[in-house]
Amino acid sequence: MSQALSMQFSTAPGTIGQYARALVARGNNTRNNELPPLEALLVNVKASASDVKAYARVCGFDPNAEHLPLTYPHILAFPLHMELMLHKAFPYPVMGLVHISNTITQMRHIRKDETLCVRCLLGEARSTDKGIEFDIVTQISSGGEIIWTSVSTNLFRQSSTGSKGPRAVREAASFAHKESWSLPSSLGRQYARVSGDSNPIHLYPLSARLFGFKRHIAHGMWSKARIAAALAGRFRDGCCELTTEFKLPVFLPAKVDLCFSDMNADGMSFELRNASGEKTHVRGRISRPD
């Protein structure tokens, strides 16, 4: 295996400039499932107290909590994800990639004042009937100890040349509990301000239509954060694993329901559905790590 090419940063790269680069980036035209051995490192970083508080308010966390929201380390890592995908050796165009799933594992609460190291690397890639899926792995460490990890899976869509089998029919799950949320048209812009993720598909109906969407859509990681805010408090020491699959986009504005089970030894399962219950936008589980 080739030695990893490592990019090291003392401050987080600016996401506005990254999106300008992403609009013109076309990848290197490789259409196989081999990724270059790239990693990016951000050292000696502390979360900004005001930024964390603003993020918490948008995503439904307690803004006065002493620890970081479960999903906040993704915000620290996101500029590094972009640098990996904007590297000249990365094979796929950034615009048009679809974030299809994300798993976060946190070993303990992370204090707001901790000095952290953020390491992101390209993981495994595999061919599917929809295209090529690939992983971005994130490790957050404090004092040399890894305390938070995530695996974000993205899809580079390709036309299928093989025949597809019949689509599996999934029986609708029933849940003991439900919360209803009203999402404003401005939600994507609110989340963009606190996350740095200013992808045009999330901002306005017109900018979303330029990329093939009928209206702008909520960020998948906002949905994950809002779910974490509703459910993760049951793990009082912060040690938990939150797995989410992003199934269907949430077009804004919207009314959605978070449906979730009782807690048991295996954790809790949940689905984020539209108000009529006919469509599942997000599906997942929160539990103790194995």
Beta bridge partners of 6: 39
Q: Tell me the C-alpha distance between 87 and 39, whole Å.
A: 10
Q: Tell me the C-alpha distance between 94 and 268, whole Å.
A: 34
Query: Is the four-CA dihedral 226, 231, 234, 239 of positive or negative sign?
Result: negative
- Side by side, the strands of the sheet bearing 38-45 are 5-9, 38-45, 116-128, 131-142, 145-157, 98-106, 240-246, 280-287, 268-274, 254-260, 177-183
Identify the pLDDT of residue 211.
83
Number of helical H runs and strand E runs in the chain: 6, 11
pLDDT band at 158 (very low <50, low <70, confident <90, very high): confident
pLDDT band at 27 (very low <50, low <70, confident <90, very high): low
Cα distances (Å, whole numbers) of residue 56 to 1, 61, 69, 91, 127: 41, 5, 7, 35, 37
Q: Tell me the C-alpha distance between 282 and 173, whole Å.
A: 13
User: What b/e sequence results for 227-236 when a residue is b if at least 16 CB atoms lie within 10 Å of its CB, and e otherwise?
Assistant: bbbbbbeebe
pLDDT of 267 over the 80 cut: yes
Q: What is the pLDDT of residues 37-73, one digit of tens each?
A: 999 999 999 999 999 999 999 999 999 999 999 999 9
Question: Strands 5-9 and 38-45: what pairing?
Answer: parallel
Neighbours of 154 (CB within 10 A): 21
pLDDT of 23 over the 50 cut: yes
Q: Tell me the C-alpha distance between 22 and 91, whole Å.
A: 13
* Residue 143, both tokens: 């004092």
Q: Which 3 state secondary structure label does DSSP give 57? A: helix
Question: Comparing 118 with 10, which gets the higher pLDDT?
Answer: 118
Estimate to the nearest angstrom the gap between the alpha carbon of 221 and the chain centroid.
4
Estimate to the nearest angstrom the gap between the alpha carbon of 243 and the chain centroid.
10
Question: Comparing 65 with 290, which gets the higher pLDDT?
Answer: 65
Q: Tell me the C-alpha distance between 188 and 195, whole Å.
A: 10
pLDDT band at 96 (very low <50, low <70, confident <90, very high): confident
Identify the pLDDT of residue 1.
47
Q: What is the pLDDT of residues 118-145, one digit of tens each?
A: 999 999 999 988 899 999 999 999 999 9
Contact 227, 234 (CB under 8 A): no
Model confidence pTM above 0.95? no
Question: Comparing 1 with 218, which gets the higher pLDDT?
Answer: 218
Q: Which domains, from first to last, does the chain contain?
A: 5-158+173-287 (3.10.129.10)
pLDDT of 159 over the 90 cut: no
